[in-house]
Structure formats: structure tokens, C-alpha cells
Structure 1
């Protein structure tokens, strides 16, 4: 085969490599946002929280860059099946990354109203949930970089742990509201923070599911529905 015939494939491979680099940059950015948002929240550092919220525009800008790059590839090239899986996954997980960024921004904004209640925050499962959610996010990134479906499935399984901690947190905080109605506002922020971290873990799970789809060509988001279709 001539070098001219190979040129379109080489160009596409280059575009896909750039897309992967953008996605890794996005993963790194939102991981930093989550770490800094939780540090600000736990330490009651309002200035640090404001800095995290300000960086959300960087997440939004990178989301647009990735979307436009996917559009460029589709417009200029003829992707085969494996390439199309990469593009489908990229569009989906790009949205998940952007939403994680939004939740990090919101967590950072809770720093000011919760700064006077450090003991209340420490008594919740919020810090533990955040540690697990960040581990999940990093695991999903590692699974993507290495195309590791086993690692991806490990990340997916951990989502249930975060869900359980959130449920425990919710019950405890609602009970505390009833006992100390004067602290209702602060407790409401803690409930919202817990929910934000639970949603971050959901998005990390979605990213890991995208890796399974990329590697296996198998969409496992609604596994029970697929199993039901096969058995009917």
C-alpha cells in the first residue's frame, strides 16, 4: 500500500491521539478541582474555595475544545468501528467530566457558609465519601489511559459504597435537624455537599462504564435491561 493511501489513517490516528490527550487533561483538571474543593471545605478556607470556583471556566473551555475536536474528526475523516466507539465514549465522558467540575465548584461555594461549623462537617461521612469518589475518578482515568476494563469494573463496583455512605449521612443529618433546628441552614449545606459527592461518584462510574464500552464494545449502563432482552 502506498504512503499516500496510509496518509488519511495516519492523520486520523494523530487526531485521536490529540483527543485522548485532551481527555486526560480534563481528568487531571477535575481531579485537582475535587481535591482543592474538599481541602477548602474541610479547612474552612473561603479564599481557596473561591479560587476553585473561579477555575470552573477552565473546565467549561476544555469541554468545548473536546466537543469541537470530536466534530472535526467526524467531519474530516471516516472512522471505523473502533474509532467510532472512541468518539462516542469521548463525547459522553466529556459531559461527565464537565458535570464533575460543576459539582466541585458547588462544593467550593459551600466553604463560606460552613466555615463556622468545622466539627459538624467532620462528624459526617462527607470527607470519607470524597476520598472514595476521588479514588474512583483517578481509577477511571487510569483505566482509560491503559484501556483496562478490569480496573474500570472495579471503579464501577465502588459506587455502591458511596451510595451507602450518602444514605447514612442523609439519615443522620435529617435527625440532627430535628434535634437542633437552629442549625438547619448549615445542615442543609452538608446534605447538599453529600449529594454533590454522591453525584461525582456516579459520574466517575459513568466514565468507567465508557472505558468498558471502548474496550469491549459492550454498553453496560443498563445491564439488567440487556439481560432481560436476551432472556425474552
Structure 2
């Protein structure tokens, strides 16, 4: 299966521009057009353990690469393609896209340590479009926290983080939680329910049980407990 190189280049570079728009100017980033130029790799003889196809070489030659100047921060992105990483996946950087070179289809891996075999593959262009739609919806964002990597890196790492939901969805869910509990309490004998300062499950408890989906973690750590009236005769 071939892919439309020009469209994929445009989509990829749009993802890059969305990222740059979220960052402050003091990060001292440099944008370099052409993957081979950015990483000083010869397109004619890249020295990789895989044979690059002509469309993939064209794609790599047209994409924007984000590199730091001086001791600025690295910006880690998905995707990386098979053994070709569009953004080098050092330290704690997340995984990304790997490409099946025979058909130019891709699949997402959680980390660079995962094995690409046995996973589902889909069209590259469609995957990039979906990735971009998640960014525009706020489900992918650039993590600008100052925390340094713990793998001996001297520079902090910033890159796409998957939030899985947008703040509006969380606020709606918390409001619905309160409405449901109040509705149940209104049908019980006694006084109406009252919201307390306690949450359902504190973060220090949630941290003991990994992994917990991001949405569930956020909800459980923010949803307030309610003091509901007990039915007559209950213990």
C-alpha cells in the first residue's frame, strides 16, 4: 500500500507547527527541514539496518525537525518510523508510530521498547490525520514541565503527552457525579446529601495501584465524597 507523500509531509509539519505554538520563545528551538540534514545522515547511504523505500525517503526529506540550540530543551514527538526515528527516542520519551515498510502502514507503540510484531497496522495518512485531530481537541498536549529526565540526560525533555480527555469532559463528569448522588439522596429518608472536602480516593492511594487510566485517576482524585442520609433502621 502506497501513501500520498505530499499529504503526509503537510500533516506532519502541521503537527510540528501546533507543537511550536504551545511553547515559549525562550526554549531556543531550531526547525530544520529534512530529516537527513537534521541528523547528518546521508540519504543515499543512511547506514540503517532496514532498506528505506523511495516514498519514505521523500517523506523524510520534506518534514520539519525540531532541535534545540545550545542547552535548550529537546522536544520529543511521536512518531518514529521502524528503525528510523523522526525524533530520537532517548531517556523517558514516549513511543510512537512504527512503519511496516512493505505496505507503508503504521501502528502505535506505547514505548520504544515494545515489539512491533502482532499489532494492528493502518494507513499512515489516516493515522496522522487522527493524531492531528486529537491535538486540536486538546487530548494531546506538549508537556512543558521543567522536570529533568532520570536517564542521565543533561537536558529536560518536552514532547507530546496523551491526556485522553479534555478539561471540559472532566468538569462535565464531576458535575454529573454530584447531580446523580444528590438525586439518589433526595429519594432517601432524612436530610439532603452534603458534599464533603474528602475525595473518593486520594492520589497517595492511587499511586500504589498502577497503571490506572488517566481519566479514572483524575476523576477519583477530584470527585468529592457525599454524606448521604441513612435509611431508617440501617446500621
TM-score range, shorter chain: under 0.3
What TM-score results when the alignment is normalised by the length of structure 1? 0.25
More strand by share: 2
More helix by share: 1
Mark the structure with the bigger radius of gyration.
Answer: 2
What TM-score results when the alignment is normalised by the length of structure 2? 0.25
Q: Which fold has the larger relative contact order, with Cα–Cα distance below 8 Å and residues 6 or more apart in sequence?
A: 1
